[in-house]
Amino acid sequence: MNKLKLVLCAAGLSVLVGCSNTQMAVTGLSLAGAAIGYIAYGWMKNPDASNAYEKTPNEVIQATNDTLKENKYTIVKTETSNKDNTYLIEAENARGQKVDIAISPVEDNSNQAKIYIKGTSFDGVSKAQSQILLNQINKKLV
Are 92 and 77 in the same domain?
A: yes
- pLDDT, tens digit (0-9, with 9 covering 90-100), for 42-88: 666 778 899 999 999 999 999 999 999 999 999 999 999 988 899 99
* Contact between residue 53 and residue 115 where contact means Cβ atoms under 8 Å apart: yes
Are 91 and 117 in the same domain?
A: yes
Are 35 and 59 in the same domain?
A: no
Q: pLDDT: is 3 or 55 the higher one?
A: 55
Are 29 and 65 in the same domain?
A: no
Return the pLDDT at 39: 46
**pLDDT band for position 36 (50/70/90)?**
very low
What range does the domain containing 97 cover?
46-140
Return the pLDDT at 77: 96
Are 15 and 50 in the same domain?
A: no
Domain count, the chain: 2
Q: Which distant-in-sequence residues (6+ apart) come within 8 Å of 131 by Cβ?
A: 48, 49, 117
